[in-house]
Amino acid sequence: MIQPVHIFSTRESVSLAEKISQSYGMPLGKMSFFDFSDGEYQPCLEESVRGSRVFIIGSTFPPADNLMEMLLMIDAAKRASADKITAVIPYFGLARQDRKDKPRVPIGAKLVANLLTAAGATRVMTMDLHADQIQGFFEIPVDHLFASAIFINYVKLLNLDNLTIASPDMGGAKRARTYAGYLDADVVICYKERKKANNVDFMTLIGDVRGRNVILVDDMIDTAGTLTKAADILMDAGATSVRAMATHAIFSGAAYDRINDSKLEEVIVTDSIPLKNTLVSKIKVLSCAPLFGEVMNLVHNRESISKKFIM
């Protein structure tokens, strides 16, 4: 007997969820939300999920309501006797809090992992975690997908000669080397130092980019300060052009203005987070929906998903 499937979405991720469900081959499940006057809300699954596999789609970017909606919907599915509940989280919020980097701070990513499990999730599906070790925070299966499967095909279509892949920091060197291996490109690294988050104090280039078309790769773009500063350094070092690829378009603060005014030719991102400003012509959005839709199908049919792991 084939187990029935239901796909639901948190409110802020409906646009992406509709594309994922279309790629999967079925419509989104019916949902309703009751909003109390004080800001409290109550989600309701408007169809029976008893004995079903339930996929709940929602990126947990700020505000915290997006995470809370995910937790409440998981709890609702559990209490409605769903058999398997997969939290599909294209952007996993609080992932930058993956360790204690100074005294008396939380490990937010571990707390979120505990909350998802306590709510009733039996599986988590996400993409390009800020730190790979977050998978180990869970005692349930984690399908960690990579946007490289999306980006590499796009880069090949650009048909750039003298291609160089750049990492905007030392932590992204492994990612840059992986992309370079698939694209037969050179690698350079922008070494940076910062004393506090979102503020780069010093940056220098390791490697030669003269006459090269450079693509910066990262997992996320927040304020775009690091990215635009790296682009300036690369162009000053003789690069022919500089593009950037990042999975998660957080784009906070002055990010849109920085990108628009920068030396970057193009910024390529996915739709894991909905854009607040769609008027910046330099930003190219590639959908991650087909990737999630296909992997959800493979998981439901108990088939291997290893072919989707390029990184």
Show which residues are catalytic.
192
**DSSP strand pairing (186-193 vs 163-167):** parallel
Residue 148 corresponds to which amino acid? S
User: Strands 213-221 and 163-167, how do they pair?
Assistant: parallel
Q: Strand pairing partners for 8? A: 56
b/e sequence 21-52, b meaning 16+ C-beta within 10 Å: bebbeeebbebeeeeeeeeeeebebeeebeeb
Report how far residue 107's alpha carbon sits from residue 109's, in angstroms, rounded to the nearest whole number.
Answer: 6
Residue with tokens 């910024």: 267
E strands within the chain? 5-9, 31-35, 41-45, 53-57, 84-89, 123-127, 142-145, 163-167, 186-193, 202-206, 213-221, 241-249, 266-270, 283-286
- List alpha helices for the chain, DSSP H: 14-24, 65-79, 108-119, 148-158, 173-183, 225-236, 255-261, 289-300
Q: What's the CA gap between 146 and 247, in Å, rounded?
A: 8
Dist CA 220 CA 278 (whole Å): 17
Separation between Cα atoms, residue 189 and residue 195, nearest integer Å: 19
Three-state DSSP class for 235? Answer: helix
- The vertex-175 CA angle with 306 and 264, nearest 5°, equals 125
